[in-house]
Amino acid sequence: MSSTGHLTGKGLQAVPRFQHGSRVPGWDDAADLTKDPAGVPDPAVVEVPADLRAEIEDFMSRYPDSRSAAIPALRAAQERHGWCSPEAVEQVACVMRLTPGYLASVAGFYDQLETRPVGHRPVYVCTNISCSLRGADNLLAELQHELAGADDVNLRGFECLGACDIAPMVSVEGVYVGPVDEAEIPELARQIRAGEDPLPAKQLIRRPCQDPGAAAPE
Amino acid sequence: MTQTILFKNIDEPGLATLDVYRARGGYGDRLRKALSMPRDVLVDELKASGLRGRGGAGFSMGTKASFLPKGQMDKYLVCNADESEPGTFKDRELMQKCPHMLIEGMIIAAYAAGANRAFIYIRGEYVQQAQILEAAIEEAKAAGLLGDRLLGTDTSLSLWVHRGAGAYICGEETGLLDSLEGKRGNPRLKPPFPANQGLYQGPTLINNVETLATLPHIIEMGAENYAKIGVQNSTGTKLISISGHVQKPGNYEIELGMSSRDIIYGLAGGPGEGRSVKMWFPGGSSSPVLTGEDLDISYDFDSMAKAGTMLGSGAIIVVDDQTSVVDVALKTAQFYRHESCGKCTPCREGTNWTVKMLERIKSGEATPMDLDLMASVCENIIGHCLCVLGDAMAMPIGSMVKKFRGEFEEYIETARLQAERELLAGLDIDTDSTTITIPQAA
Ligand SMILES: Cc1cc2nc3c(=O)[nH]c(=O)nc-3n(C[C@H](O)[C@H](O)[C@H](O)COP(=O)(O)O)c2cc1C
Ligand code: SF4
Ligand code: FES
């Protein structure tokens, strides 16, 4: 698709601008520049669910430097809030004694940490080389069509998920399935909507190693 | 035909549990033997095995371990289980089916390096594999194989699984360290190398899953015997992930030095009926491509380097003759654009420009001159960045343009004509009966 469209005349789009005039979405478009940057939250003011606090503190205890727990802690908060919402980030910041700004910058780096409100159930379709050679782009388009309106699902294309042997493949909340045949897509979509075990026979966890040498037990 | 070491019994039910793993010889005499060797002797043994890193760079494992300073200080061992190189999925199979092999290897590596804290940095997308690893670590802890004074020796080791959150660059060793420290995963300037200043500024040994999982076997069979497998400078067996246009995609364990044809056709069945290999990535999407004429090259580190490419992570992606090279190039470039951490200008902008130029080719707005421009952008990325992610896009794209230039030019021409036709159709001109006369300037 052309981004300039000077020859085809197609694809001409207005350049999106964010609130502060920036063309770059992300780190600054949610900030209110009239306010001072937020400091480390006051534990007396911020309420953190007890189980979340316990989980984060457990992560912090594993490392010589507790800051290492930033990613596991953000993931834990995201699992409860659905995304790294300002509230989720503030709770993590409160337990870890870091600023929300620091944690937001970390969250913005990683594909799995969502800095926008999205469905809380991640479904990734790999669209990288090996999968696209075997029909991944079509799979993503069909799934998008089938799952239209399922607001709790965060369906997105993803880079290579490390399962090119089952291309084209989908990760349904961490459960890898593939190769997904075209005819199976409606059934898969139905299972995703219903929260059922996706295509049980096609799950990666059940796939034997392909090496003939591996099959011969001594 | 080839010796199976890592994949031996891999599908045995219950191999992920401690009992079955022990019954197969795990954590037995070989571990005691390793832990009773003086450190220098163990490191020399690892060097003598000739084992080269299986994560991408192919650096001698024993030599890297010998770089860590001696003496009392906090040292770390980190297992790189980020496995995000497109086409690579071998570590996944090992961790999922035989997690204890990795743990045993890590105990040996930590002892060799003098490290008493270890982490497995696993990509966040591998949910089930992380759970399996965590369960295995719990088992090993309960059995006294991890923790203080493990197996009654003076050695102690704490081991945690650290899950990433989706970033290819966190496979690069220094990006991984920053990420493990709870930061954005930007690579660091080297030197200092991690062996001197790594995690929390302490000396750190970083190795790939497959590299570490091989260590127990080297101790068991002896370095000398291990070095007899494979070919010179590429000893041992290697796990190969084959995907793309082959009939039996999957992981295979091969002896290094096997012919590439035997891997692609013999093991993986080659492309389907009536199709042939157009090109293939021999070591993940970062390696310069080879063509159907290069199938007889021996699959080992040196032969791949001689052919102008690299063995990398051992991931072969096969592309058949019915696929356009432009599509593959675009997918490749898009991946690196997405994953560039943005720290260096040539990488951040160069990957972006390359994608734009390839998109122009697809939409019929490019001229053959753009191919030269693209080659020059790629040339200017290589060697000008902090890490090799930029090179990892520039090299395969450069090789595609070089080896398939004719096809690129043809594509540009066809797409341009197509775009013009669409433009004329849009203007509602009847192209059959009207001749367009261009007014001449007086
Ligand atoms: C952009 C980039 C991505 C990398 N990704 C991985 C990876 O996913 N897994 C891995 O083991 N090594 C990866 N590496 C290689 C590591 O930097 C490092 O060389 C390797 O982990 C060392 O282990 P080894 O000596 O056992 O191979 C990557 C390197 C670069 C430059
Ligand atoms: S080369 Fe690219 S990925 Fe590597 S540090 Fe520079 S900008 Fe980041
Ligand atoms: S390319 Fe899709 S999982 Fe690797």
A74: domain range? 50-109
Pair B359, A3: CB distance under 8 Å: yes
Q: How far is B422 from chain A (nearest CA, A)?
A: 7
Same domain membership, residue A143 and residue A168: yes
Residue B251 has which token pair?
Answer: 């992981």
What residue spans in chain B does CATH classification 3.40.50.11540 cover? 18-228
Residue B299 pairs in a beta bridge with B258
pLDDT digits (tens, 9 = 90+) for A206-218: 999 999 988 754 4
| Dihedral (CA of B423, B428, B433, B436) sign | negative
**Considering the domain boundaries, does residue A214 fall inside one?**
no
Say which residues have a Cβ less than 8 Å from residue B251's Cβ, sequence separation at least 6.
Answer: A165, A209, A210, A211, B7, B89, B90, B93, B239, B240, B241, B242
CA atoms within 13 A on the CB side of A184: 16
Same domain membership, residue A188 and residue A126: yes
CA distances from B69 to B40, B64, B109, B174, B245 (A): 12, 11, 15, 18, 47
A167 contacts on B by Cβ (under 8 Å): 243-244, 249
Pair B113, B205: CB distance under 8 Å: yes
Q: How many domains are contained in chain A?
A: 2
Per-residue confidence (pLDDT) for residue A103, from 0 to 100 = 96
Domain termination residue (choose one: A65, A88, A109): A109
**By C-alpha distance, which of A153, A154, A155, A160 is closest to A126?**
A160
Cα–Cα–Cα angle for B239, B244, B248, rounded to 5 degrees:
65
Give the mutation target among A133, A158, A169, A204 for probing the ligand 3 site: most ligand atoms within 8 A of CB: A169
**Distance of alpha carbon A105 from alpha carbon A26, whole angstroms:** 9
Q: How far is B361 from chain A (nearest CA, A)?
A: 9
What residue spans in chain B does CATH classification 1.20.1440.230 cover? 325-425
Pair B339, B389: CB distance under 8 Å: yes
What residue spans in chain B does CATH classification 3.10.20.600 cover? 232-320
Residue B147 has which token pair?
Answer: 């923790």
Task: Tell me the backbone φ, ψ of residue B239, rounded to 5 degrees.
Answer: -85, 130
Interface-testing mutation among A71, A113, A138, with chain B (most B C-beta atoms within 10 A): A71
Same domain membership, residue A194 and residue A126: yes
Does residue A89 sit in helix, strand or coil?
helix
Domain termination residue (choose one: A109, A131, A147): A109
pLDDT digits (tens, 9 = 90+) for A157-206: 999 999 999 999 999 999 999 999 999 999 999 999 999 999 999 999 99
Contact B9 A176 (CB under 8 A): no
**Distance of alpha carbon A211 from alpha carbon B1, whole angstroms:** 12
Name all residues whose Cβ lies below 6 A of ligand 1. Answer: B 53-57, 59, 80, 82-85, 169, 171-173, 206-208, 211, 387-389, 392
Same domain membership, residue A73 and residue A128: no
A69 contacts on B by Cβ (under 8 Å): 182
Residue A170 pairs in a beta bridge with A125, A177
A137 contacts on B by Cβ (under 8 Å): none
A160 contacts on B by Cβ (under 8 Å): 84-88, 285, 335
**By C-alpha distance, which of B16, B45, B276 is closest to B133?**
B16
Pair B150, B157: CB distance under 8 Å: yes
**Distance of alpha carbon B38 from alpha carbon B50, whole angstroms:** 19
pLDDT digits (tens, 9 = 90+) for A1-60: 334 334 444 444 455 555 545 544 454 555 667 778 789 999 999 999 999 999 999 999
Residue A55 has which token pair?
Answer: 């989980």
Pair B290, B279: CB distance under 8 Å: yes
Contact B249 A165 (CB under 8 A): yes
**Distance of alpha carbon B258 from alpha carbon B230, whole angstroms:** 8
**Considering the domain boundaries, does residue A42 fall inside one?**
no
**Distance of alpha carbon B147 from alpha carbon B331, whole angstroms:** 45
Nearest CA to ligand 1 atom 25: B53
Residue B349 pairs in a beta bridge with none
Same domain membership, residue A144 and residue A100: no
CA distances from A127 to A135, A164, B336 (A): 9, 10, 13
Same domain membership, residue A105 and residue A133: no
Candidate from B163, B251, B420 with C-beta closest to A72 = B163
Q: Cβ-count burial of A216 within 10 angstroms (0-12 exposed, 13-18 middle, 19+ buried)?
A: exposed
Interface-testing mutation among B170, B243, B245, with chain A (most A C-beta atoms within 10 A): B243
**Distance of alpha carbon B384 from alpha carbon B350, whole angstroms:** 11
Q: What H or E segment, with its residue span, contains residue B254?
A: strand B250-255
Pair B207, B55: CB distance under 8 Å: yes
Per-residue confidence (pLDDT) for residue B50, from 0 to 100 = 97
Per-residue confidence (pLDDT) for residue B435, from 0 to 100 = 57
Residue B160 pairs in a beta bridge with B119
CA of A72 to the centre of ligand 2 (A): 24
Pair A2, A8: CB distance under 8 Å: yes
Cα–Cα–Cα angle for B120, B122, B128, rounded to 5 degrees:
115
Same domain membership, residue A175 and residue A131: yes
CA distances from B150 to B32, B140, B154, B158, B426 (A): 10, 10, 7, 10, 76
The number of the ligand nearest the C-alpha atom of B338 reads 2
**Distance of alpha carbon B213 from alpha carbon B54, whole angstroms:** 10
**Considering the domain boundaries, does residue A157 fall inside one?**
yes
A65 contacts on B by Cβ (under 8 Å): 181-182, 200
Residue of A nearest to B255 (CA): A213
Digits of tens for pLDDT over chain B (442 positions)? 468 999 999 999 999 999 999 999 999 999 999 999 999 999 999 999 999 999 999 999 999 999 999 988 999 999 999 999 999 999 999 999 999 999 999 999 999 999 999 999 999 999 999 999 999 999 999 999 999 999 888 899 999 999 999 999 999 999 999 999 999 999 999 999 999 999 999 999 999 999 999 999 999 999 999 999 999 999 999 999 999 999 999 999 999 999 999 999 999 999 999 999 999 999 999 999 999 999 999 999 999 999 999 999 999 999 999 999 999 999 999 999 999 999 999 999 999 999 999 999 999 999 989 999 999 999 999 999 999 999 999 999 999 999 999 999 999 999 999 999 988 887 766 556 555 555 555 4
Candidate from A108, A162, A209 with C-beta closest to B250 = A209
Cis peptide bond N-terminal to A122, omega within 30: no
Per-residue confidence (pLDDT) for residue B400, from 0 to 100 = 96
Residue B26 has which token pair?
Answer: 């795990």
Residue B349 has which token pair?
Answer: 């902008």
Same domain membership, residue A200 and residue A125: yes
Contact A75 B165 (CB under 8 A): yes
Q: How far is A59 from chain B (nearest CA, A)?
A: 9
**Distance of alpha carbon B342 from alpha carbon B331, whole angstroms:** 19
Contact A164 B86 (CB under 8 A): yes
Say which residues have a Cβ less than 8 Å from residue A81's Cβ, sequence separation at least 6.
Answer: A87, A88
One-letter amino acid for residue B120 of the chain: I
**Considering the domain boundaries, does residue A211 fall inside one?**
no
Local structure of residue B421 (DSSP, 8 states): H
Same domain membership, residue A89 and residue A138: no
Same domain membership, residue A125 and residue A98: no
**Distance of alpha carbon B179 from alpha carbon B162, whole angstroms:** 10
The terminus-to-terminus CA distance of chain B in angstroms comes to 79
Contact A164 B241 (CB under 8 A): yes
**Considering the domain boundaries, does residue A127 fall inside one?**
yes
Interface-testing mutation among A160, A203, A206, with chain B (most B C-beta atoms within 10 A): A160
Contact A72 B162 (CB under 8 A): yes
**By C-alpha distance, which of B210, B98, B103 is closest to B158?**
B103
* CATH code of residue A75: 1.10.10
Q: Is the CB of B394 under 6 A from ligand 2?
A: no
**Considering the domain boundaries, does residue A136 fall inside one?**
yes
ipTM: 0.92
- The pTM for the full model equals 0.92
CA of B356 to the centre of ligand 1 (A): 28
Q: DSSP of B12-48, one letter per residue?
A: STTTTSHHHHHHTTTTSHHHHHHHHS-HHHHHHHHHH
B430 C-beta neighbours (distance < 10 Å), count:
8
Instruction: Tell the CATH topology of B325-425.
Output: de novo design (two linked rop proteins) (1.20.1440)
Pair A88, A78: CB distance under 8 Å: yes
Candidate from A65, A166, A215 with C-beta closest to B200 = A65
Give the mutation target among A140, A161, A180, A207 for probing the ligand 3 site: most ligand atoms within 8 A of CB: A161
**Considering the domain boundaries, does residue A39 fall inside one?**
no
**By C-alpha distance, which of B52, B81, B82, B80 is closest to B65?**
B52
Q: Cβ-count burial of B262 within 10 angstroms (0-12 exposed, 13-18 middle, 19+ buried)?
A: middle
Domain B232-320: CATH class, spelled out = alpha beta
One-letter amino acid for residue B210 of the chain: E
Same domain membership, residue A102 and residue A177: no
CA distances from A10 to A118, B58, B228, B305, B366 (A): 30, 47, 61, 44, 15
CA of A131 to the centre of ligand 3 (A): 5
Candidate from A106, A171, A216 with C-beta closest to B125 = A171
**Distance of alpha carbon B344 from alpha carbon B384, whole angstroms:** 8
The CATH classification number of B18-228 equals 3.40.50.11540
CA of B226 to the centre of ligand 1 (A): 23
Same domain membership, residue A171 and residue A129: yes
